[in-house]
Amino acid sequence: MNTRLADRAALATTVTLGVAFAAFFLLPFAGLVARALQDGRTWEIMTGATARKAMTLSLWTSAVTVVLTIVFGTPAAYFLARASFRGKAILDGFIDLPIVLPPTVAGVALLTAFGRRGLVGEPIDHWTGITFGFTSVAVVMAQVLVSAPFYVRAAKSGFERVDLQQEQVAYTLGASRTKTFFRIAVPEAQPALVAGLVLCWARALGELGATLIFAGNLEGRTQTMPLAIISAFEGTSLGLAGAIALSLMLLAVALAVLTALRLAISRSGAVVSGR
């Protein structure tokens, strides 16, 4: 009898804590939707020029960020998963650093390295006249710095779980390293790669601090949706109503893309398991 009572008490406690935890995450979004529906300017703001420009910039820069991360981050993750060398732990730490550092620190670091008077930016500006800071390129650079580590971490874990013997067998059968990588390593690590891809894109879409410092907040040029929300909240003509409308717009787009990616992942997993 005491055991049953203890089990019921444990179940009730678990349910209560779970509901409270879920409510903590759901209530802010519910409040956002409720305030947006109460304001008569919401649709006007969401379809306005500021919102369109900011959303377009956010979408294409985050897409470019993801592509660059896949192209450069996948080989890096595979190398870290397979290679063993002195200083590997230090390199791992530097890759993880943007995850734990405040984004503003990343922005200052980018500015001191690639800004017009930066370590690399100054000679490039002197020799070619090309500047990175306060341009759309700077937005992508900021997003890559803060979001790529999420993909590299996930991809590295995925490659570490791939059976090394399968790759060795492929080598002995005459397969090249490139063919083995794409035919064995990538398919086996696919769930981790996709998960890292989602995290990378989501972090890039929501990037704020590094972008603000390195790229600035220029409407139509470097003002992404998070920056537009900050501008509205800090007292532009849009005001709090604008911040709420833009936040709801960004939330809807992010939710739609994440849902589509989850469906694609589940279908991809079903195809792989059924082959």
CB 140 within 8 A of CB 67: no
CB 182 within 8 A of CB 193: no
User: The domain that contains 213 carries what CATH number?
Assistant: 1.10.3720.10
Whose tokens are 């911040």? That residue is 243
Q: SS3 letters for 17-73?
A: HHHHHHHHHHHHHHHHHHHHHHCCCHHHHHCCHHHHHHHHHHHHHHHHHHHHHHHHH
Which of the two residues, 6 and 36, has the higher pLDDT score? 36
CB 224 within 8 A of CB 61: yes
Please, what sign has the CA dihedral across residues 138, 140, 143, 145?
A: negative
Q: What burial class does residue 45 get, using C-beta atoms within 10 Å of its C-beta: 0-12 exposed, 13-18 middle, 19+ buried?
A: buried
Residue span of the structural domain in which 167 resides: 60-222
The answer to the question of residue 250 being in a domain is no
Angle (nearest 5°) at CA 156 between 154 and 159: 110
The answer to the question of residue 37 being in a domain is no
The answer to the question of residue 192 being in a domain is yes
Q: Per-residue pLDDT averaged across 122-143, rounded?
A: 93
Q: Per-residue pLDDT averaged across 20-37, rounded?
A: 90
pLDDT at 7 exceeding the cut of 80: no
The answer to the question of residue 67 being in a domain is yes
The answer to the question of residue 265 being in a domain is no
Which of the two residues, 20 and 86, has the higher pLDDT score? 20
CA distance 31 to 26: 9
The pLDDT value given to residue 255? 87
Please give the tally of structural domains in the chain.
1
Which of the two residues, 158 and 267, has the higher pLDDT score? 158
The pLDDT value given to residue 1? 52
Q: What burial class does residue 98 get, using C-beta atoms within 10 Å of its C-beta: 0-12 exposed, 13-18 middle, 19+ buried?
A: buried
The answer to the question of residue 196 being in a domain is yes
Give 200-235 pLDDT, tens digit per residue.
999 999 999 999 999 999 988 999 999 999 988 877
Give 48-71 pLDDT, tens digit per residue.
988 999 999 999 999 999 999 999
pLDDT at 11 exceeding the cut of 60: yes
CA distance 128 to 34: 52
The pLDDT value given to residue 19? 93
The pLDDT value given to residue 268? 58
The answer to the question of residue 170 being in a domain is yes
The answer to the question of residue 108 being in a domain is yes
